[in-house]
Amino acid sequence: MQPRIDSNLGIQGEPDTWVHSACILCSNGCGLDIAVKDGRIVGVRGSAGHPVNFGHLGPKGEHGWVANNSRRRGMVPMIRKTKDAPLKPVSWDEALDFFVEHFRKAWSQGHQNLACYNSGQLTLEELYTLGKFWRGGLRSANIDGNTRLCTATSATGLMANFGVDGPVASYADVDRADLLCLYGHNVAEVQTVLWERMLAARKKNGGRIMVVDPRKTPTVQQGADLHLQIRVGTNVALMNGIIHLLVQNDWVDRHFIAQHTVGFDQLESVVRDYPPERVAELCDIPREHLETAAKWIGTTPRMVSTVLQGFYQSVEATASSSLVNTVHLLTGAIGRPGAGPLLMAGQPSAMCNREAGAGGSYPAYRNPHSEVQMRDLCAHWNIDYASFRPEVPRDILSMMEGAERGEIEFFWVIGTNPLVSLPDQNRTERILRRTFVVVQDPFVDAETIACADIYFPVAMWGEKQGCVTNADRSVNLLLKAVDPPGEARSDFDIIAQIANRLGFKDKDGQPLIAFTDPRDAFEEWRRVSKGRPCDYSGMTYELILEMGAVRWPCNEQYPRGCERLYEDLKFWTGIDECETHGVDFLNGTPTTRNAYAHADPAGKAFLRPAQWRRPPNPVSEAYPFLLITGRVVYHFHTRTKTARSKVLNAHAPQPYVEINPQDADRLAIALGDLVELTSPNGRWEGVAMVVDTVRPGEVFVPFHYGHGAQSANQHTWYARDAVSQQPHLKSSPVAIKRLSFGQPESWLLERMRELDGTSIEPFAARMLDGTVNMSVPMSS
Ligand SMILES: Nc1nc2c(c(=O)[nH]1)N[C@H]1C(S)=C(S)[C@@H](COP(=O)(O)OP(=O)(O)OC[C@H]3O[C@@H](n4cnc5c(=O)[nH]c(N)nc54)[C@H](O)[C@@H]3O)O[C@H]1N2
Ligand SMILES: Nc1nc2c(c(=O)[nH]1)N[C@H]1C(S)=C(S)[C@@H](COP(=O)(O)OP(=O)(O)OC[C@H]3O[C@@H](n4cnc5c(=O)[nH]c(N)nc54)[C@H](O)[C@@H]3O)O[C@H]1N2
Ligand code: SF4
Ligand SMILES: [Mo]
């Protein structure tokens, strides 16, 4: 990808200063500088020397910064004295006292009575501090991140094969690959700059791109050489079908398998049941597409695979994602330039949440079931192992179910908007309304604040300092460009202050959280992560500033970071190295330490078989369509940032549903009509887009839009993958009908043209340097 400096400045002339930072509106981690004038953020420009984006920015990267200057920024803390009282402004002291009083009251019933739900959008330093507070101070496992909805499966999928979390390949491998396989990843809309990099690589290498997605997405339209347009919920069947053909045609590396893996025989016996005719029927794709896919995969040594929500947000998430790693292990396409699986992250610091241990993991990928590792962690924290009692982390949905049963009274929500983003919105709202809720957010209009008893105004991106790790392990440093508005404080300060008000101490009676500055937390993290896979011991803020971003591990062996993992083909599967002892995909039971000791592969990777199973909540006569939810290029999540940009919002101002022309004809629904989706859980309304991007019987709604009848999460369920506990957000049964006739507005027509491939304006306009394939790909 050629360097190019994209910029967007809201002022005439030069700013006062440019401050080093990175975009945090997805996991790509594009380097940029923030323009500051008169103490305000006035624009951004891409960093040409940055190893991730070479100065390129996408639409959110260019326009997202306007959110900082919104009039809806929170300036002062607020509390609600009783459930039916309004939120009232108070001083920080009063708000923190109120917090501590309610925290202690709930705590007096046991630590399981409190829960923390945080985010893949905080900094590494904040997440590390929060994890230490909750696990080391409160000694509780009731802590999770919205990473659970996002990339929990990336972690469990990687652990299933390699023993620990940690994306294997990197963008440097994308540049060298001859085959890019995108599994449930609509990269053209969700990481536009990575898409540019992929297209540039395809052009340079004369390579190919294969996409597995039930929708004909812009990724398919703009760049797929092969589109496997499978039926929603058939990922495991497809992967087994591919592996069946790899084995049958001997497109596997038997020497590699024998030297570096365990489990081949069992895998082979399971995939025997997935001959191409059966798989073509289950997935509803032409058999030739499946055979072409297997042939390309089996005969292209330099292959990189990316995996995202089309695989992760389903009940078969871990199995299907792990099978992608398995394909790489079978063909030996791992640990060398241009080859490897890249189980993607989504949020800007989902990776940090997993690394630092503020969600479903312990710090630096430590295993709570390994006494050696837990003793080591206690030594770092200077706390007593005997009283530490590491517990298995609880996921957000089981905590919500706990709160529903009255077992959790206190919920601290930091940097996430669960009222909009959790499944089954009506159920979620009922639970949050009956619970004591603290919301820590930069904006006073984030929907979840409607359920809050305490609101803390916080500093956001550009107003604080800290690191974020992107999807390929590149660590960025975000510097503070301006002061936060009003009395807003950083999450870091709030977490550290509360820890000290609660009086958490180490075993020598010193404050457990003694940090006063994010850099203190970073320095401690360097020590805590040393020797683990995500080793930061050789990384400094200065090195990051010098290099733009540094990929972990960064230590004596890799003083300037590491391009790809497992070049030595030694995996972290030894019994006291691994992050988990694993779960059997076939029956869902966790492996005990004793059973693991028996089968310890001591450095070899696992090949784990999985059977395809019919998804839960299938369609019925009353609810005959499957609803797919996901993203559009212009908005980030619940729109608390992107809706404030006039430019971005103008392209996608309202919710809409994609419906196939065959279904629309049958139901007499036309483009622009107002339609209703109903399900056992709720009701949605929005305009219809009649377009063949979706298969007959499936509909698609973006999940970005708010609370109530706009929200796709009116219809989703608390169903989840048994291993990663990631919710099944990609298929829910619904009924659809027209409410009234309508005319399409111009944004809807423009969006439709983007989707049906007749226009790629405006978001991909810059890719038109011959790299975009505008011809229609092979597609079922
Ligand atoms: N513009 C924008 N970019 C973003 C974000 C955003 O909100 N907006 N969010 C960021 C975050 S946090 C994340 S996690 C990523 C998510 O990035 P993606 O995972 O790429 O985005 P989604 O639209 O959620 O889902 C991807 C695709 O999965 C497909 N899919 C649905 N069901 C199935 C299935 O059964 N099998 C297969 N193979 N595919 C299926 C959908 O049709 C969809 O096109 O994006 C990041 N980037
Ligand atoms: N149906 C359906 N639901 C989904 C998905 C889907 O595809 N379909 N995708 C899921 C995925 S992958 C994700 S990642 C989630 C995202 O869901 P959320 O995490 O709920 O989405 P955001 O809108 O990013 O919420 C972040 C909140 O943090 C606030 N914030 C921003 N910066 C800061 C900060 O520095 N500090 C603090 N304290 N707060 C800050 C924002 O204003 C916002 O309110 O949604 C999930 N939900
Ligand atoms: S690709 Fe992601 S990180 Fe890069 S500019 Fe776009 S939103 Fe920001
Ligand atoms: Mo995500």
**Hey, how many other C-beta atoms are within 10 angstroms of the C-beta on 324?**
24
Residue 563 domain-assigned? no
How far CA 308 is from CA of 82, 190, 300, 318, 529, in Å, comes to: 42, 10, 22, 11, 26
Look at residue 701 and tell me whether its pLDDT is greater than 60.
yes
81 alpha carbon to ligand 4 midpoint, in Å?
34
Q: Which two tokens stand for residue 673?
A: 């009509």
Q: At 525, which amino acid appears?
A: W
Same domain, 358 and 501: yes
Give the residue, by CA position, lying nearest to ligand 2 atom 23: 638
Give the residue, by CA position, lying nearest to ligand 2 atom 47: 421
Give the residue, by CA position, lying nearest to ligand 3 atom 2: 26
Average pLDDT, the chain: 95
Same domain, 85 and 65: no
CATH number at residue 648: 2.40.40.20
Helices 518-529, 371-381: axis angle to 10 degrees equals: 150
**Cis before residue 702, ω within 30 degrees of 0?**
no
702 alpha carbon to ligand 4 midpoint, in Å?
13
**Ligand 3 touching residue 344 (CB < 6 A):** no
- 8 A C-beta contact, residue 102 and residue 95: no
| Burial annotation 523-553 (CB, 10 A radius, 16+ → b, else e) | bbbbebbbebbbbbbbbbbebbeebbbbbbb
Give the residue, by CA position, lying nearest to ligand 2 atom 17: 421
**Ligand 3 touching residue 58 (CB < 6 A):** yes
What is the phi/psi pair of residue 766, to 5°? -70, -15
Residue 519 domain-assigned? yes
Q: At 702, which amino acid appears?
A: P
Look at residue 369 and tell me whether its pLDDT is greater than 70.
yes
Q: Measure the CA–CA gap between 193 and 340, rounded to whole angstroms.
A: 20
**Cis before residue 553, ω within 30 degrees of 0?**
yes
Q: To test the ligand 2 pocket, which listed residue (116, 149, 734) has its Cβ within 8 A of the most ligand atoms?
A: 149
Q: The dihedral of CA 510, 513, 518, 524: what is its sign?
A: positive
Give the residue, by CA position, lying nearest to ligand 3 atom 4: 30
For ligand 2, residues with CB inside 6 Å are 119, 121-122, 146, 149-150, 309, 313, 346-347, 414-418, 420-421, 440-443, 446, 458, 460, 491, 629-630, 637-638, 640, 703, 712-713, 716, 729
Q: What is the pLDDT of residue 721?
A: 95
Q: What is the pLDDT of residue 774?
A: 33
Burial status of residue 714 (CB atoms within 10 A of its CB: 0-12, 13-18, 19 or more): buried
Closest ligand 3 atom, CA of 62? 5
Closest ligand 2 atom, CA of 347? 14
**Ligand 3 touching residue 319 (CB < 6 A):** no
Structural domain tally of the chain? Answer: 4
Same domain, 448 and 475: yes
Per DSSP, what are the bridge partners of residue 590? 583
**Ligand 3 touching residue 106 (CB < 6 A):** no
Same domain, 413 and 480: yes
Closest ligand 2 atom, CA of 421? 47
The three-class DSSP label of residue 656 is strand
Give the up-direction half-sphere exposure of residue 127: CA atoms within 13 A in the CB hemisphere: 34
CATH number at residue 487: 3.40.50.740
For ligand 1, residues with CB inside 6 Å are 26, 60, 150, 183-186, 189-191, 212-215, 217, 232-233, 235, 308-311, 314, 346-347, 628, 630-631, 633, 635-637, 730
Tens digits of residue pLDDT in 584-616 = 887 778 899 999 999 889 899 999 999 999 988
Same domain, 399 and 338: no
- Answer with the one of 69, 90, 108 that is the final residue of a domain: 69
The ligand with the least distance to the CA atom of 440 is 2
Q: Measure the CA–CA gap between 78 and 419, rounded to whole angstroms.
A: 19
| Burial annotation 383-405 (CB, 10 A radius, 16+ → b, else e) | beeeebebeebbbbbebbbbbbe
**Mean pLDDT to the nearest integer, 396-414:** 98
Give the residue, by CA position, lying nearest to ligand 2 atom 39: 415
The ligand with the least distance to the CA atom of 712 is 2
- 8 A C-beta contact, residue 609 and residue 195: no
Q: In angstroms, how far apart are the furthest CA atoms of the chain?
A: 73
DSSP character for 768?
Answer: T
Same domain, 205 and 260: yes
Residue 706 domain-assigned? yes
Residue 2 domain-assigned? no
Nearest alpha-carbon partner for 162 in 639, 688, 579, 660 = 579
Residue 656 domain-assigned? yes
- E strands in 239-311: 261-262, 303-307
- 8 A C-beta contact, residue 159 and residue 354: no
The ligand with the least distance to the CA atom of 726 is 2
Q: The dihedral of CA 542, 548, 554, 556: what is its sign?
A: negative
760 alpha carbon to ligand 3 midpoint, in Å?
18
149 alpha carbon to ligand 4 midpoint, in Å?
6
Q: The dihedral of CA 139, 143, 147, 150: what is its sign?
A: positive
Confidence of residue 779 (pLDDT cuts 50, 70, 90): very low
Same domain, 86 and 62: no
**Ligand 3 touching residue 30 (CB < 6 A):** yes
Residues 6+ apart with CB under 8 A from 495: 126, 129, 130, 133, 414, 513
Same domain, 173 and 257: yes
Between strands 114-118 and 143-145, the pairing is parallel
**Mean pLDDT to the nearest integer, 187-211:** 96
Closest ligand 3 atom, CA of 59? 6
Look at residue 210 and tell me whether its pLDDT is greater than 60.
yes
Tens digits of residue pLDDT in 291-324 = 999 999 999 999 999 999 999 999 999 999 999 9
Q: Measure the CA–CA gap between 321 and 329, rounded to whole angstroms.
A: 13
Q: What is the pLDDT of residue 764?
A: 52
Same domain, 400 and 543: yes
Q: What is the pLDDT of residue 761?
A: 54
Give the residue, by CA position, lying nearest to ligand 1 atom 32: 310
119 alpha carbon to ligand 2 midpoint, in Å?
7
Give the residue, by CA position, lying nearest to ligand 2 atom 4: 421
347 alpha carbon to ligand 2 midpoint, in Å?
8
Residue 612 domain-assigned? no
Q: What is the pLDDT of residue 760?
A: 57
Closest ligand 1 atom, CA of 189? 1
The three-class DSSP label of residue 196 is helix
Tallying the residues shown for the chain, one arrives at 780
Helices 235-248, 276-283: axis angle to 10 degrees equals: 160
Q: To test the ligand 3 pocket, which listed residue (7, 24, 26) has its Cβ within 8 A of the most ligand atoms?
A: 26
Q: What is the pLDDT of residue 724?
A: 95
> Token pair 């200063």 is at which residue?
17
CATH number at residue 32: 3.30.200.210
Q: Measure the CA–CA gap between 367 and 385, rounded to whole angstroms.
A: 14
132 alpha carbon to ligand 1 midpoint, in Å?
31
Give the residue, by CA position, lying nearest to ligand 1 atom 8: 636
Q: The dihedral of CA 375, 377, 383, 389: what is its sign?
A: negative
The three-class DSSP label of residue 764 is coil
The ligand with the least distance to the CA atom of 397 is 2
Same domain, 34 and 172: no
- 8 A C-beta contact, residue 122 and residue 315: no
pTM of the prediction? 0.97
Q: What is the pLDDT of residue 759?
A: 65
Q: Measure the CA–CA gap between 486 and 735, rounded to whole angstroms.
A: 47
Residue 106 domain-assigned? yes
Percent of the chain surpassing pLDDT 70: 97
- E strands in 213-362: 226-228, 261-262, 303-307, 340-343
**Mean pLDDT to the nearest integer, 735-764:** 85
Look at residue 6 and tell me whether its pLDDT is greater than 50.
yes
**Ligand 3 touching residue 8 (CB < 6 A):** no
Q: What is the pLDDT of residue 777?
A: 33
Give the residue, by CA position, lying nearest to ligand 1 atom 30: 310
Give the up-direction half-sphere exposure of residue 418: CA atoms within 13 A in the CB hemisphere: 31
Same domain, 334 and 391: no
The ligand with the least distance to the CA atom of 628 is 1
Mean pLDDT lowest among 13-22, 545-554, 730-739, 753-762: 753-762
Give the residue, by CA position, lying nearest to ligand 1 atom 3: 190
767 alpha carbon to ligand 2 midpoint, in Å?
28
What is the phi/psi pair of residue 776, to 5°? -75, 125
Opening angle at CA 87, ends 83 and 93, nearest 5: 105
Confidence of residue 757 (pLDDT cuts 50, 70, 90): confident
Q: Measure the CA–CA gap between 306 and 169, rounded to whole angstroms.
A: 9
Nearest alpha-carbon partner for 170 in 568, 544, 471 = 471
**Mean pLDDT to the nearest integer, 520-536:** 98
Same domain, 174 and 219: yes
Q: To test the ligand 3 pocket, which listed residue (60, 171, 704) has its Cβ within 8 A of the most ligand atoms?
A: 60
Q: How far apart are the first and last CA of the chain?
A: 31
In the sheet where 88-89 sits, what is the strand order?
Answer: 88-89, 78-79, 454-457, 436-441, 410-414, 114-118, 143-145
Q: Measure the CA–CA gap between 123 and 29, rounded to whole angstroms.
A: 13
Residue 776 domain-assigned? no
> Token pair 């919002």 is at which residue?
649
Q: Measure the CA–CA gap between 28 and 7, rounded to whole angstroms.
A: 17
Q: What is the pLDDT of residue 393?
A: 86
Q: At 528, which amino acid appears?
A: V
Closest ligand 3 atom, CA of 348? 3
**Ligand 3 touching residue 470 (CB < 6 A):** no
Q: Which two tokens stand for residue 763?
A: 């978001």
**Mean pLDDT to the nearest integer, 557-562:** 98
Tens digits of residue pLDDT in 69-110 = 999 999 999 999 998 899 999 999 999 999 999 999 999 999
Give the residue, by CA position, lying nearest to ligand 1 atom 2: 190
68 alpha carbon to ligand 3 midpoint, in Å?
17
Domain enclosing residue 740, as ranges? 625-769
Q: What is the pLDDT of residue 47?
A: 96
What are the start-end ranges of the H helices in 13-135?
59-63, 92-107, 124-131
Closest ligand 2 atom, CA of 629? 8
Residues 6+ apart with CB under 8 A from 459: 442, 484, 488, 489, 490, 491
- 8 A C-beta contact, residue 195 and residue 223: yes
**Ligand 3 touching residue 224 (CB < 6 A):** no
The ligand with the least distance to the CA atom of 171 is 3
Q: To test the ligand 2 pocket, which listed residue (21, 116, 144, 146) has its Cβ within 8 A of the most ligand atoms?
A: 146
568 alpha carbon to ligand 1 midpoint, in Å?
32
Look at residue 775 and tell me whether its pLDDT is greater than 50.
no
Confidence of residue 778 (pLDDT cuts 50, 70, 90): very low
Q: Measure the CA–CA gap between 340 and 360, rounded to whole angstroms.
A: 25
What are the start-end ranges of the H helices in 490-618?
491-501, 518-529, 541-547, 593-599
Q: Measure the CA–CA gap between 468 and 54, rounded to whole angstroms.
A: 18
Mean pLDDT lowest among 194-203, 415-424, 585-594: 585-594
Q: Measure the CA–CA gap between 396 and 144, rounded to whole angstroms.
A: 6
- 8 A C-beta contact, residue 734 and residue 679: yes
Opening angle at CA 621, ends 620 and 622, nearest 5: 90
- 8 A C-beta contact, residue 235 and residue 184: yes
